[in-house]
C-alpha cells in the first residue's frame, strides 16, 4: 500500500464528484482538505503556488473543471483556462512541493469512431471544446509531472450532489408522457460515489499513468433513460429513440466512447458494480422530494 503524507488536497471539493470524494476520504479517516473555486481558483498561478506551499500536501486530487459541455462551445477562453491551464498550474506547483497529482479526465478526449472500446493508450482525438481542453490538460500534467501523476478518465457521471441525467429524466417525467432520448451514443453510466471509492483504492495502490474507471456494463442514453424510469416505477412515460443529429446540441459528442476498464480490473482485482445496480443504489439514496440540483 502506498502512503502519501498528510494532508491530501481535494480541488473542486464542492462539485458532484468532489462532494462524494470528501465523504469517502473522511470515512476512511484520511486527513483531507477540500477546496473549491472560492478558496482556490486553479487558473490563478500565484495563488495555486501559495496555497500548495501552505499545505504541502502529499497528494492533490483535482476534480475541478468547467464541465458544462455545451457552454464550452461559446466560452472557450474560460474553458481552456480552467481545464488546461488550471491542471498545468497544479502540476507545476506539485513539482515544488513534491506532491503526487491525481487528475480527472473524460471519455470526451476520444472521438468515439474506433468501433470498439477506448483503451488508455489510444490516441486522443477530441471532437469539441470540452474534450480538447481536457486533452490539453492531460498533456500538461504529463509534461510537468512525468513520474508523479495519475490521470483518471471516467464517463457519464451521476451523483447526489450535481446536475445529472437521472435527475433530468425524473424531472421531465413529472410533466411529460413521452420523451425522445438519444440512442446512438454509447457509454458507461457511472455513480460518483462508486467512483470516489475507486479513487481511494487507486491512491492506496499508488498507480502512476492513465487509467479508465467507470461502472461495469454499457448503455445508450436511451437505455439509461428507460432503466431510470423502470427502476423508479414510472410507467406513464414512453421513451422514443432520437439520433444525435436530430437533437442538434451545440457540442459534438463521441458516438462510441465506452471506456475499456481492464487495466483498472487488473489493478484492483474486480470491476465496479454494473451501472444498473449502481443506479438502483443511487435512486434509493436520493431525497424523496425535489431533485437536489446544485444549479
- Residues near ligand NAP (CB under 6 A) are 11-12, 14-18, 36-37, 40-43, 63-67, 82, 86, 104, 106, 134, 154-157, 162
CB of 284 to ligand NAP, least distance (A): 21
Phi, psi (rounded to 5 degrees) for 231: -70, -25
CB of 236 to ligand NAP, least distance (A): 28
Of 41 and 111, the one with the shorter C-beta distance to ligand NAP is: 41
Distances (CA, A) of 71 to 22, 147, 207, 250: 27, 34, 33, 8
Q: Which residues of 271-288 are buried (b: 16+ CB within 10 A; e: fewer)?
A: bbbebbebbbebbeebee
Can you say whether residue 112 is alpha, beta or left, with left for phi > 0 and alpha for psi between -120 and 50 degrees?
left
Of 18 and 126, the one with the shorter C-beta distance to ligand NAP is: 18
User: Quick check: bond before 7 cis, omega within 30?
Assistant: yes
As separate numbers, helices (DSSP H) first and strands (DSSP E) second, the chain gives 11, 12
- Is 130 annotated in the active site? yes
Helical ranges in the chain per DSSP H: 16-27, 45-55, 76-80, 86-97, 129-144, 165-173, 192-205, 221-231, 244-247, 262-268, 275-285
Q: Do residues 185 and 111 make contact, with C-beta atoms less than 8 angstroms apart?
A: no
Distances (CA, A) of 215 to 174, 187, 268, 278: 28, 10, 14, 8
Of 15 and 112, the one with the shorter C-beta distance to ligand NAP is: 15
Which residue among 130, 191, 256, 282 is the active-site one? 130
CB of 153 to ligand NAP, least distance (A): 7
Of 153 and 222, the one with the shorter C-beta distance to ligand NAP is: 153
For residue 145, give the nearest of 81, 105, 90 by alpha carbon.
Answer: 90
CB of 12 to ligand NAP, least distance (A): 3
Of 40 and 166, the one with the shorter C-beta distance to ligand NAP is: 40
- Which position's Cβ is nearest ligand NAP? 15
CB of 165 to ligand NAP, least distance (A): 8
Catalytic residues: 130
Amino acid at each position: 500500500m502506498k502512503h502519501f503524507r498528510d494532508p491530501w488536497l481535494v480541488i473542486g471539493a464542492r462539485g458532484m464528484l468532489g462532494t462524494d470524494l470528501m465523504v469517502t476520504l473522511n470515512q476512511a479517516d484520511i486527513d483531507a482538505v477540500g477546496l473549491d473555486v472560492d478558496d482556490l481558483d486553479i487558473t490563478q498561478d500565484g495563488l495555486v503556488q501559495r496555497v500548495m506551499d501552505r499545505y504541502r500536501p502529499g497528494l492533490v486530487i483535482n476534480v475541478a473543471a468547467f464541465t458544462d459541455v455545451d457552454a464550452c462551445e461559446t466560452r472557450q477562453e474560460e474553458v481552456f483556462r480552467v481545464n488546461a491551464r488550471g491542471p498545468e498550474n497544479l502540476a507545476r506547483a506539485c513539482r515544488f512541493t513534491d506532491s503526487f497529482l491525481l487528475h480527472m479526465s473524460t471519455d470526451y478526449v476520444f472521438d468515439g469512431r474506433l468501433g470498439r472500446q477506448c483503451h488508455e493508450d489510444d490516441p486522443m482525438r477530441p471532437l469539441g471544446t470540452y474534450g480538447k481542453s481536457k486533452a490539453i490538460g492531460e498533456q500538461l500534467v504529463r509534461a510537468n509531472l512525468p513520474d508523479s501523476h495519475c490521470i483518471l478518465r471516467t464517463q457519464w457521471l451521476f451523483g447526489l450532489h450535481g446536475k445529472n441525467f437521472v435527475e433530468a429524466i425524473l424531472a421531465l417525467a413529472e410533466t411529460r408522457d413521452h420523451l425522445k432520448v438519444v440512442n446512438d451514443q454509447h457509454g458507461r453510466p457511472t455513480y460518483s460515489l462508486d467512483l470516489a471509492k475507486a479513487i481511494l483504492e487507486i491512491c492506496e495502490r499508488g498507480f502512476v499513468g492513465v487509467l479508465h474507471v467507470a461502472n461495469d456494463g454499457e448503455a445508450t442514453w436511451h437505455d439509461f433513460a428507460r432503466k431510470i424510469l423502470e427502476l423508479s416505477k414510472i410507467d406513464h412515460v414512453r421513451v422514443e429513440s432520437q439520433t444525435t443529429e436530430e437533437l442538434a446540441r451545440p457540442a459534438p459528442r463521441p458516438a462510441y466512447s465506452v471506456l475499456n476498464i481492464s487495466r483498472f480490473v487488473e489493478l484492483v482485482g474486480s470491476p465496479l458494480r454494473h451501472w444498473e445496480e449502481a443506479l438502483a443504489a443511487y435512486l434509493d439514496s436520493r431525497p424523496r422530494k425535489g431533485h437536489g440540483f446544485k444549479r
